Amino acid sequence: MEQTVKRIGILTSGGDAPGMNAAVRAVVRTAISQGVECVGIRRGYHGLINGDFMPMNASSVSHIIHKGGTVLYTARSKEFTTEEGREKALGTCKLLGLDGIVAIGGDGTFRGALALSRQATAHGNDLQVVGIPATIDNDIGCSHYTIGFDTACNTAIECIDKLRDTMQSHERCSVVEVMGRHAGYLALDVGISVGATAVLIPERTFDFESDVVEPIRKARLAGVTHFMVVVAEGVGSAVDIARRIQEEIGIDPRVTVLGHIQRGGTPSSRDRETASRMGYAAVQSLVENRGNRVIATRDGSIVNLDMEEALAMTKPFTMDRYMVLEALSRH
C-alpha cells in the first residue's frame, strides 16, 4: 500500500506524566526515519486551535529523553469540546498540511482526537489520529500500563522512605495521601513497596475499625512504634483519616499530601523504554495507513487497537495485590 502520510502533528494533552518527552522523541525520530515530517503542537488542543506549533527535527528532541514533564507543554481546552473549537483546530491542520496526529495523554485526549478525526471525515478530509496512553494514574481501560506510572510510584516511595526516617525517630503515625484520581493503582503499589500498615483505595470499601485501627493496634502490640497509612486521593482526605485515627486510638498522626511532586522527576527506565516503543508503534501505524488507533500494552506487549473499541474497554481492578498487602502487614 502506498504511503500517504507525509506530515504529522504531535501533541501532549491533559495531566503531564514522566516519559512523555521520551514518547515525543520516539515519534519525531521514527517519523524522520520513515521520511515523514513532524510538527509539534504546543499546549495540546488549545495550541491546535490557536496555531501554536513548531517544526520538529532530530536536534529538537535531543537530550529530552531523561526530562520529566513535556517540552510541548500541556493544557486543557474547553473550546475544543465544541464543534466550533474543533473547526478551528481543523483549520490549523489544513494550514499545516497535517495528514495525521499523534496524541499523548489519557481517555479525554483520545476522545478529543477521535472527535477531530470524525469531524474532518464529515468535511471530506482524511485526518488519521493515533493515541499513546500517558498518565501516572494507570487508569486507562485499554492499556495494562500507562507511561509515567512507574516513575510516580518511585517518587512516592522515595518520599515516604525519607518521611519514615523522621517519623520513626518520634514514634509517630504517618498518613500519606498519594495521587491516582479515581483509581487505587498508585496507592496500592506504593503501599506494598513501603511496607504500609494499611492502604485505602477507592476500589475497596473499607471498614475503619478492621482496616485501619486494628492493624495499628496489632502492630503496636508486636512492638512497632511507627505506623504508615497510605490513602489514595479517590478515597477522600488524608486529613479526615488522620483525625479519625486520633479519635479512635489517641495517637497524634502527621499528614503528608504528596500532590503534584509525583508528576515530576526523571522518568524511570521502564517509562522511557515503554514510551519509546509506543512512539515508534504510533508512527508505524500512521505510515501503514492505520489511523484512529490507540497504542497500548497488553500482557507486556505493545498492541495496536481500534480507538473506538479501546475507549469502550474497562480495566477490572483485581484484588490479588491487596491480598499480598494484607498478608505482609500482619503482625
Assess if residue 72 is contained within a domain.
yes
Q: What is the average pLDDT value for the chain, to the nearest integer?
A: 95
Assess if residue 198 is contained within a domain.
yes
Q: Are residues 96 and 119 in the same domain?
A: yes
Q: Are residues 291 and 254 in the same domain?
A: no
Range of the domain at 187: 150-264
Q: Are residues 182 and 257 in the same domain?
A: yes
Number of domains in the chain: 2
Question: The pTM is what?
Answer: 0.95
Calpha distance 192→328 (Å, rounded): 8
pLDDT average, residue stretch 9-27: 97
Assess if residue 319 is contained within a domain.
no
Q: Are residues 129 and 39 in the same domain?
A: yes
Q: Are residues 16 and 76 in the same domain?
A: yes
Assess if residue 331 is contained within a domain.
no
DSSP β-ladder status, 227-232 and 198-200: parallel
Interval 82-117: pLDDT, tens = 999 999 999 999 999 999 999 999 999 999 999 999
Q: Are residues 169 and 273 in the same domain?
A: no
Q: Are residues 51 and 62 in the same domain?
A: yes
The CATH number assigned to the domain holding 172 equals: 3.40.50.460
Torsion of CA 181, 187, 189, 194, to 10 degrees: 150
Q: Which of 137, 150, 189, 271 is catalytic?
A: 137
Q: Are residues 23 and 127 in the same domain?
A: yes
Would you state the pLDDT for residue 1? 54
Q: Are residues 85 and 170 in the same domain?
A: no
Interval 275-307: pLDDT, tens = 999 999 999 999 999 999 999 999 999 999 999
- pLDDT band at 318; cut points 50, 70, 90: confident
Residue 137 annotated to the active site:
yes
Assess if residue 247 is contained within a domain.
yes
Assess if residue 2 is contained within a domain.
no
Q: Are residues 134 and 93 in the same domain?
A: yes
Would you state the pLDDT for residue 165? 87
- How far CA 210 is from CA of 173, 205, 241, in Å, comes to 17, 12, 14
Q: Are residues 128 and 233 in the same domain?
A: no
End residue of a domain, out of 208, 229, 264: 264
Q: Are residues 106 and 206 in the same domain?
A: no
